[in-house]
Each structure stands twice: as structure tokens, then as C-alpha cells.
Chains A and B, each alone.
Chain A
């Protein structure tokens, strides 16, 4: 048995684990195992004192491997590997037992949870006994970046990278840059022109020699790994040299959102009542400089209806974040164009969370806006007005604050449509190998601590393809993604994970079955030796070939049969 001096560390995670799992009992249980040299419990193993404690034990107890029973390895495996490395051990001599996400957080029975924590810890102990020191190797980092999507997020990320001196390929599906912002008039809460914002970006992008803008173009394929991606581009205007492949080290996905289709909510009459329009229809009107009904009249009464498609059980459960402030912006724009216009604003809750937003809300109240609150599941009803009324439509609403059923006049109703993920988001996710959440938004590596990275190294996400957000947040994410990439580029080299598969030539029969199975074509066939060989830099360690080799000649490093068999024994105690 290679490893026989194991340190086992059981984390309380404050009370997250310890409130249900008897950590002391798990530690006592682990200490009985013959290869375990030392066992400790601690309130936060990932904290600095926790990490230092492990490092100190590695020295003082001459540990050869470490088990940390704590949270998900997807959270802190990297942290503890680094602890081992700083203490002079190979980082791969560490295993984690997930006794938080897979145990204390999902169970209520303390005895059963403690037994489970013991089993998971035992599995990690048996596994780590069989861990081997693995060497990482480094490859060159290509300094170019591919940015997918030329909206405010994509342009900002591109500029940040290009101005630092690195090449960027900015691919945009449409025939112009700017994205959804090109459809917007003013921005909340300072009523600056969106056109000015976007024009500044577009000009700077176009003038920057480091940025190649590809309009009417799409990324069709993406192969390789961080530092060494090859993207296949379908160009709108074919290149003279016919070059459709570009080499990039990193990718920023900034594909944006699409607006909710108001026609899906039949009772608001969008598409039937001519003067029920969406916020985007209204933006168009504002950009043209004339607010008018379909019939060409100046509206006397305008009603703004919030949360169309958002915060509803039927459509999207989430809040689209930008609509409340956009609605207030409309009040100001209407009031300045038609001072006598009677504007009513029908909302569920007024979300004024951002910088300057509360002030903007107060200012809007001061310009004689009629705010009416309606219940989440009590949608206002829009009907055509009688000819005797002096308005086009009547909106009936159960006003929540007064508790009364109120009828309000409207010549124009603006539906504040929410944001939703684009139809092609799934296609993009597959292209760059990232995941989507239940609403179709791209999933970040960690929602709080690693917001612009994804689970695929070298792929970053920014802007409204991640979730609804406003311009400042989008720009911050784009710059964050660029900063992350610059950090990688500045090192020049990238360390490749030491986990990959390798062929034992003495056992390989040369059947070539694995050659066909590998999704990355990472397995070559040596005609001379009649043996298969794995190109480690291309291998992504899925282990498909390992499980399929009829001769058992392929070893999946860090996920060997022996390691997994040991885990099976462990979990079954």
C-alpha cells in the first residue's frame, strides 16, 4: 500500500456540518483505520488557521496524504491541493469527502447522517491510500481571445483586452455591433443617451487595431483546451485567404438576452389591441422622437405595466432587474414630451436596488405619477373603453394598498417585458461546453466567488447571457472576464491538469477500439509498435476509453479502477 500516513480532517463548517453530523464520532471512527496517522476536527478547515494546521501536521507527522471531510470538492478541492503543495506534498495526494452538500444539508436524521459521513470518509481514506503523485505540465498560452457577441459586454471585454495589447476576434451574428442597447433610447437612472454610450464603444472597437470585428459571422466549432483553442468561424464576408480557423487562448461568451414575447400572455391583448405595446416598441418610438398612438394621436393617458413574463409562476419566476427603472425612465420621457399626460404605473413591487435608483424612484413620484400596486397573482385586466369614455382602453386593477378595485384610463399601455435566455443559448452552451440553469442562463463556476468563469477552463461568461442585469453590472462582468484572461495571458504558460488517461503498452492489444471512442481524437495509433497512444494535452480525462478497453490497458490517472473500487468498499463500510 503506497500511502500509509494519512491525515484526516473533519470540518464542522461552522454549524453547517456539525449541527447534524457528529464530527467527533466521525473523527474517532477514522482514527481506528490502520493507515490513518492523525485525525482532527475544526470549525472551518478552509480558513487560514485550518489550512495552516494541515500544513503543520504534514511536516510534524510526516503525512504522505490527506483526507478532508468537508464541502464539495467542486468548492474547495483546489484549496486543499494548494495546502499540500505548499507543505511539500504532491497536490494529488488529497481527497475530499463531501459531507456537507451530500450529507448534512440534505438530511435531517442525525444518526443516519453521521453514519453516511463515516462511510464517505472511509471511502476517501481507502481511495487516498491508492493515490499517486502526479506531475502537471505546462503548455503555451495563446494570447488571442475570441469574444462571442458584440453587445456592450462583448465590446467592453474586447476593448479591455485589446488595449492591454492582445489580439481579439469579436464575432457578431448580426450586421452591426451594439446588441440590444442599440434599441434603447435613454438609460436609467441618469437619463443618459444609450446611443452615446454605444457609439463610443463601437467607434473605439472599430478603431482598435488589435480587434478584428467579424459581422454576420458565427462560431461553428470550438476545439482544444485553455490556451489552445481552435475556433471554426462562418464568416459573413469570406476572407480572401479563405481562413476560417482562428487560434485563441480564451473565450468570452457575451451573447446577451432576448425579450419576453408579450403575445404569450393573451389577456393583455398584445397583438390584438393596437395600443398595447411592449417596452421595446416604446423605445423605438422614443428613438424616433414621437410618442403617439397607432392612429397617430398624442396619448392623454399612458399606463405602464410591470413584470410582464417576469416573477410569474406561469412564465419566468425570476425578476428581470432592469424593467422597474426602465419604467420610471419612461415616466420621465413621457412627462417631458407630453407634460399634461396622465401616467399610471402598475407594479407588483418596486425594485429600486441599485446606485441612485431610490432617488430616481422618489423623483419620479414627484412628477405626479400614479403608482398602483397589484398582487402577484392578480393581473390587471385591459379592455376597450366605451365610445363615451375619453380614452382608448380601461384597465381594471385590484389596487393592493387601498384594497379597492380601480379603473384607470389608457390610450397606450406599455408592457414591461422581461429578459429571457436566447433560443440559441443551448447551441452556444454546447459549442463552448458550458451548462445552463433551469431558465436557460449560463452557469458560472461559483455564483458568488467565481462569477465570470465557468466549469470549462478558458471559457468566461459576461452580461445578460448569465442572468438579467443592467448596464453597470454587465460592464463590470465584461471587465472582470477580461481581467481574468489578462491574468492568464500574462503568465505566458498554462498548467494542464495532470489528470488524463494513459495506455500501458505492455497490455495494449492494438485493437484500436479506443481510437474511435475518444470524443477528442486524443488517441493515436502507432503503426510500428501496433499500440495505441494517448496525447495527454488533448485528453480531457472523461475516462470513456478506460472503461471500454477490453484488455484493461488504459489507466485513467486519478480515477483508476483501484481507486474507485476502494471507494466502493469504503462507502459500503
Chain B
């Protein structure tokens, strides 16, 4: 059986979650690999959420917020944006490829864009193969 990645999505309630809902009401089809968790704002996404998802077996993590300038909380997405490169850098040291952890802007009217992002991310991670993080943790435990 081919590898089907598991992707955890953290979507802000106001834009991106609504955008994903719109994909639904518009019946826009996309890959079933993503599992969505709702947060009020992309700024709520604590880096530990991403790490937790990866250690629990996620092959990718997608964080979606409102487009810059459109944040329901005026500038929460800017904070997410500033936090994100730091997290990616840290994860890169652990061998997590940038493509596995993505921050994207999806508005409430961009159902198609959301579907496109999920499909694209699923394809890219399929090419990368399963995440090595759970394996690393396992090995680490045995060594100890």
C-alpha cells in the first residue's frame, strides 16, 4: 500500500476554518489526509502544538491564518508569521524538512485555495516519505 501521510491542520476560526467550511459547502474535493483542529487565531498556535503533532506521528503540520491585514484580531497572524521561521529553523535541526511544516494564509472565501494547499502539501509529503521523528524518539528511548 502506498504511503498516506497524516497531516494535522491548525486553522484559525475566522478566516481559514471558514475557508475550509466553504470548500465543504462548495463541494470542492481534496485529499483526505488532513485532520483539522480549530483555534481562534493562528497566534494561538504554540510551537509545542507543532512539535507535539510531529512526535505523535504526524507527517506534516499545516497552520493557516487570515491574510496579513485581515486578521480578526488585527495582527495575530503577524505574530504567527514572526514565530514560524524560528520554529522551522529549530525543526530543521531535528531533520524536519521545511515542506512538512507550513504556514499559509487562507481567507473565508478561499475554499479552493485551501483545497489546493492540502493537495499540494499531501503530494509533497508523499514524495518526502514518512516523518522520521517518531522513529528518532523510539531510538532515543532504546539508547537510554
Contact = CB atoms under 8 A, between A and B. Distances in A.
Given A519-B76, A547-B44, A559 B39 contact: yes
Given A113-B32, A455-B14, A436 B109 contact: yes
Interface string A96-121: 00101111011111001101100110
B92 interface: no
A119 B34 CA distance: 11
A239 B45 CA distance: 45
B108 A435 contact: yes
Contacts of B46: 546-547, 561, 564
A109 B32 contact: yes
Interface residues of B, number: 51
B53 A542 contact: no
B48 A561 contact: yes
Contact of A542 (B40, B49, B52): B40
A73 B44 contact: no
Contacts of A499: 40
Interface stretch (B18-26, B95-103, B135-143): B18-26
The size class of the interface chain A forms with chain B is 35 or more
Nearest to B59: A572
A435 B70 contact: yes
A568 B52 contact: yes
Interface in A525-554: 540-544, 546-548
Contacts of A520: 73
11 contacts: A106-B27, A106-B29, A107-B32, A119-B35, A429-B70, A435-B107, A435-B109, A520-B73, A543-B40, A547-B44, A568-B53
A568 B108 contact: no
A435 B22 CA distance: 13
A139 interface: no
Given A543-B43, A561-B48, 6 more contacts: A109-B32, A443-B109, A517-B79, A544-B43, A544-B73, A544-B76
Interface in B37-68: 37-41, 43-49, 52-53, 56-58
A547 B29 contact: no
Contacts of B18: 74, 435, 455
A196 interface: no
A318 to B, nearest CB: 13
- Closest 8 pairs between A and B when the two form their complex, measured CB to CB: A101-B24, A543-B44, A571-B35, A544-B43, A542-B73, A542-B41, A105-B24, A547-B46
B74 interface: yes
Contacts of A572: 6, 8, 35, 53, 56-58
B37 A567 contact: yes
B37 A106 contact: no
A99 to B, nearest CB: 10
Given A107-B32, A435-B109, A559-B44, A548 B25 contact: no
Interface of B: 4, 6, 8, 13-15, 17-18, 20-21, 23-25, 27-30, 32, 35-41, 43-49, 52-53, 56-58, 69-70, 72-76, 79, 83, 107-110, 115
A180 B110 CA distance: 30
A429 B107 CA distance: 13
A123 interface: yes
A565 B108 CA distance: 26
A73 B38 contact: yes
A181 to B, nearest CB: 28
B86 to A, nearest CB: 12
Contact of A564 (B6, B17, B49, B76): B49
A556 to B, nearest CB: 7
A546 B58 CA distance: 23
Nearest to A439: B109
Contacts of A102: 20-21, 24, 36
Nearest to B22: A101
B37 A564 contact: yes
B21 A106 contact: no
